[in-house]
Structure formats: structure tokens, C-alpha cells
């Protein structure tokens, strides 16, 4: 039985939720969206053409239930609505292995449990689908009483991510590499690198707008070259001066200590300490997340960035 013959219910209509639901609908699948009562996303999902159900109705309708609410809210959603509400032999999907890997959700034995984790922010999943390009995805099967769960995960990945590059993995490997990537490189590491460069130029008395262009704005242009053709091609595109500076300086910036910190970051992910801290943060009402979010918006680098984006948008 293929995904085409199943009633798909996407729980949540946020970053990943809207992308999975819309992409699958555009591929011709029977997709509904399930949201909590009073959800701020209800109208948007209806305007986008979906039948919107509450969480209980969604659980009862689903042949395939995809959990696309925040990781820290998934256990409650599962325990309250899906554990008893899902049909016998239904399929339960995740876009990240966190709750299965760290034992926060223990699925009923009759459920077929799979993962399709796009290697992309949700809004890019939709954007790249509309551009007919797609994004890479990791797929995995955790429980397979039906013996067809892998095929269903492949169908889901093809519909949502367009088969750009689908790799089979485990929930453990996806979870640990994903958390490591976002903390050490993609988000945590990258933002601190850009800020450190910007602040070094500012402290030396340079114009803050030049510092921003140099250390933040241009990052995308360089990364775009790496994204499309790799490091060597990026280096062909930059000047010999830049390339020579790159080789002799990069390793002085990412030092032995940086690499040791990366290793420690990975160990905290592997031994579950990061997961425990994050779950406690959620239970306490996100004190760190809220403080940092507000603080970041007020930082000088963000204000300069907004001014430069305004200036550039007026000149477009
Ligand atoms: N964000 C990404 O780019 C990304 C990338 C790869 C994998 N993932 C994975 O995809 C999954 C979803 O992440 P996301 O970032 O897309 O989530 P998100 O945007 O934060 O999800 C928001 C949606 O979840 C609903 N929601 C929030 N709390 C809820 C609760 N307690 N009960 C029911 N619904 C609730 C929201 O409802 P309202 O509309 O009512 O606010 C909204 O529709 C996670 O497993 C995540 O790790 C995310």
C-alpha cells in the first residue's frame, strides 16, 4: 500500500509542518493538518487549502501521523492524543530523532515508526520544492511491523524533499549529528565566528558597516559557492590573495582548543546531557531561550545589519 492510498495528517503547521503538508498536497497526497484548539496557525492552514482538525480528530483520522510540533512538546502530544488515538498499525513519522533516541516517546508496538529529516530549515524545504530543486533528507525506520515502512519513508522523502539526496540512517545517528552540526557549526559556531570577526574590526576602529559587510553579509556569498561546487571551486572564485590568506590563517582561528570544545560538545550530546538540559529548559518555561532571544535583538551587530538591509532594499 503506497502513501497515495493513505490519509496523511501533519501535526503542527510551523516551519517544517507547513512545508511537509504543502509539498505532499502539491504531489497529490490526501493531507490534513491537525492543530491544538485556538491555534494561531488554524486560519493560515485553512487558507492554504487544508482540512484542519483538532489533535484528537487528527489522531483518529491518520493512517500516517507526522509529528511536526517542537521536539519538547511531542511527548505530551503523543501521550495525550496519539498513544490511544492512533489506529492499530498506523504510521508515526518524525522529522528528527530526538524523542525516540532519548527515550521521551516509547511508541506502541503495533505502530510503524519512521523518520524523514530534511537537512534544511522548513521554509527552505518549501522554497526549494517550488524551485523544483529539493533538499537532502535522512530517512530511518525504528519499528516496522508492516514491513513497508521504509518504502513509505522513501515516498514521503520523495514528496517533500524531491529525492535530491536521500540517505538511510538510524535515529541515533541522525539525532547526534544533527544536534552537533547546529550547535558547533551551522548556528552556534557560525554566529560566534561572524560576531568575533565583526567585533575584532570594531575594536580596531573600523567602520561598523564595513565590518558587517565583511564578516556577516558576505558569508552567504562565499557559502553559496561552497554549496554549489565545494571548497576548491570556491577558492577558484576568490582572488589568489584571499586564497593564500585562507590557507595560512584558517587553522589559527579554529585551534586545537576549538576542536577539543567540539569534541566535548559531541560528548554532551552522546551522553544525553544536552538533551536533559534542554528538556529541563522547556519545563521551566524557557528562561535561557527567552533571555537570549531578547538580548540578541538588541545587539549592535543586529541593529547595523537591519540598517544595511534597509539601505540595500531601497536601492534594489
Ligand atoms: N525548524 C526546522 O527547520 C527543522 C529542521 C529539521 C527538522 N526539524 C524537526 O521538525 C520538527 C518540528 O520542528 P519545527 O521547528 O518545524 O517546529 P515549530 O515550527 O516550532 O512548530 C510549530 C507548530 O507546532 C505547534 N505546536 C507548538 N506547541 C504545541 C503543542 N504543545 N501542542 C500542539 N501543537 C503545538 C504550533 O502550534 P500553533 O500554530 O498553535 O502555534 C505550530 O503549528 C521537530 O522535530 C524538529 O526537530 C525542524
User: Residues 38-64: pLDDT tens digits?
Assistant: 999 999 999 999 999 999 999 999 999
Q: How far is residue 10 from each of residues 22, 23, 64, 141, measured CA to CA in Å?
A: 10, 12, 8, 18
**Whether 101 is catalytic:** no
The finding on whether 187 has its CB within 6 A of some atom of ligand 1 is no
Q: Please, which pLDDT band fits residue 261 given cuts at 50, 70 and 90?
A: very high
Q: How far is residue 61 from each of residues 178, 233, 273, measured CA to CA in Å?
A: 31, 50, 37
Q: Please, which pLDDT band fits residue 96 given cuts at 50, 70 and 90?
A: very high
Q: What is the pLDDT of residue 91?
A: 98
| Separation of CA 132 and ligand 1 centre (Å) | 24
Q: What is the pLDDT of residues 199-218, one digit of tens each?
A: 999 999 999 999 999 999 99
* pTM score, whole prediction: 0.94
| Nearest atom in ligand 1 to 94's CA | 45
For residue 235, give the C-alpha cell.
Answer: 577558492
Q: Please, which pLDDT band fits residue 2 given cuts at 50, 70 and 90?
A: confident
Do residues 36 and 52 lie in contact, with contact meaning Cβ atoms separated by under 8 Å? Answer: no
In angstroms, rounded to a whole number, what is the distance separating the alpha carbons of residues 198 and 159? 41
Q: Does domain 3-169 have CATH number 3.40.50.720?
A: yes
Question: Averaged over 180-203, what is the pLDDT?
Answer: 98
Q: What is the pLDDT of residue 164?
A: 85
Q: What is the pLDDT of residues 280-296, one digit of tens each?
A: 999 999 999 999 999 99
Q: What are all long-range contacts of 69-72, with beta carbons under 8 Å and residues at least 24 apart? A: 69/11, 69/12, 69/14, 69/17, 70/12, 70/14, 71/96, 71/98, 71/99, 72/278, 72/279, 72/282
Q: Please, which pLDDT band fits residue 1 given cuts at 50, 70 and 90?
A: low
The finding on whether 17 has its CB within 6 A of some atom of ligand 1 is yes
In angstroms, rounded to a whole number, what is the distance separating the alpha carbons of residues 260 and 280? 26
In angstroms, rounded to a whole number, what is the distance separating the alpha carbons of residues 209 and 282? 37
| Separation of CA 231 and ligand 1 centre (Å) | 33
Q: What is the pLDDT of residue 60?
A: 98
DSSP characters for 198-223? HHHHHHTT--HHHHHIIIIIHHHHHH
Domain spans of the chain? 3-169, 187-254+286-314
From the candidates 18, 20, 96, 101, which is the catalytic residue?
Answer: 96
Do residues 214 and 194 lie in contact, with contact meaning Cβ atoms separated by under 8 Å? Answer: no
> Alpha helices, DSSP H only, in 120-217?
122-130, 149-161, 171-180, 188-203, 208-212
| Separation of CA 70 and ligand 1 centre (Å) | 4
| Nearest atom in ligand 1 to 77's CA | 32
DSSP letter for 182, please.
Answer: I
For residue 162, give the C-alpha cell.
Answer: 524531491
The finding on whether 16 has its CB within 6 A of some atom of ligand 1 is yes
User: Mean pLDDT over all residues of the chain?
Assistant: 97
Burial of 75 (0-12, 13-18, 19+ CB in 10 A): middle
Q: Which residue out of 17, 37, 70, 156 has the highest number of ligand 1 atoms within 8 Å of its CB and is therefore the one to mutate?
A: 70
Q: What is the pLDDT of residue 264?
A: 98
Q: Which residue out of 15, 20, 120 has the highest number of ligand 1 atoms within 8 Å of its CB and is therefore the one to mutate?
A: 15
The finding on whether 58 has its CB within 6 A of some atom of ligand 1 is no
Do residues 117 and 97 lie in contact, with contact meaning Cβ atoms separated by under 8 Å? Answer: yes
Above 90 in pLDDT, residue 10?
Answer: yes
Q: Please, which pLDDT band fits residue 223 given cuts at 50, 70 and 90?
A: very high
Apex 143 CA angle, 174 and 177, nearest 5: 5
Q: What is the pLDDT of residue 227?
A: 94
According to DSSP, the residues that pair with 64 across neighbouring strands are 8, 91
Amino acid at each position: 500500500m503506497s502513501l497515495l492510498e493513505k490519509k496523511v495528517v501533519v501535526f503542527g503547521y510551523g516551519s517544517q509542518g507547513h512545508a511537509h503538508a504543502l509539498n505532499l498536497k502539491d504531489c497529490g497526497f490526501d493531507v490534513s493538518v491537525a492543530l491544538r484548539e485556538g491555534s494561531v496557525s488554524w486560519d493560515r492552514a485553512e487558507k492554504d487549502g487544508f482540512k484542519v482538525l483538532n489533535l484528537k480528530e487528527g489522531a483518529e483520522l491518520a493512517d500516517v501521523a507526522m509529528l511536526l510540533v517542537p521536539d519538547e512538546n511531542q511527548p505530551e502530544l503523543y501521550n495525550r492524543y496519539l498513544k490511544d488515538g492512533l489506529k492499530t498499525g498506523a504510521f508515526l513519522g518524525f522529522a528528527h530523532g530526538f524523542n525516540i533516541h532519548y527515550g521521551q516517546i516509547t511508541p506502541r508496538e503495533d505502530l510503524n515508526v519512521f523518520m524523514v529529516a530534511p537537512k534544511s530549515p522548513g521554509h527552505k524545504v518549501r522554497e526549494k520544492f517550488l524551485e523544483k530543486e529539493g533538499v537532502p533528507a535522512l530517512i530511518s525506520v525504528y519499528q516496522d511491523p508492516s514491513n513497508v515502512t521504509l518504502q513509505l519513508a522513501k515516498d514521503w522523502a520523495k514528496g517533500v524533499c524531491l529525492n535530491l539526496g536521500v540517505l538511510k540512517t538510524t535515529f541515533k545517528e541522525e539525532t547526534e549529528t544533527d544536534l552537533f552540526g547546529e550547535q558547533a557549526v551551522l548556528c552556534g559556531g557560525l554566529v560566534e565566528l561572524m560576531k568575533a570577526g565583526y567585533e575584532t574590526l570594531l575594536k580596531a576602529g573600523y567602520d561598523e558597516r564595513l565590518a558587517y559587510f565583511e564578516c556577516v553579509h558576505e558569508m552567504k556569498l562565499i557559502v553559496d559557492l561552497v554549496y554549489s561546487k565545494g571548497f576548491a571551486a570556491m577558492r577558484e572564485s576568490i582572488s589568489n590573495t584571499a586564497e593564500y590568506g585562507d590557507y595560512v590563517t584558517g587553522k589559527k582561528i579554529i585551534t586545537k582548543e576549538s576542536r577539543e570544545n567540539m569534541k566535548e560538545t559531541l560528548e554532551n550530546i552522546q551522553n544525553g546531557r544536552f538533551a536533559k538540559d534542554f528538556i529541563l529548559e522547556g519545563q521551566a518555561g524557557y528562561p535561557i531561550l527567552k533571555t537570549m532571544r531578547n538580548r540578541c535583538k538588541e545587539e549592535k551587530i543586529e541593529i547595523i545589519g537591519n540598517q544595511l538591509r534597509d539601505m540595500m532594499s531601497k536601492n534594489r
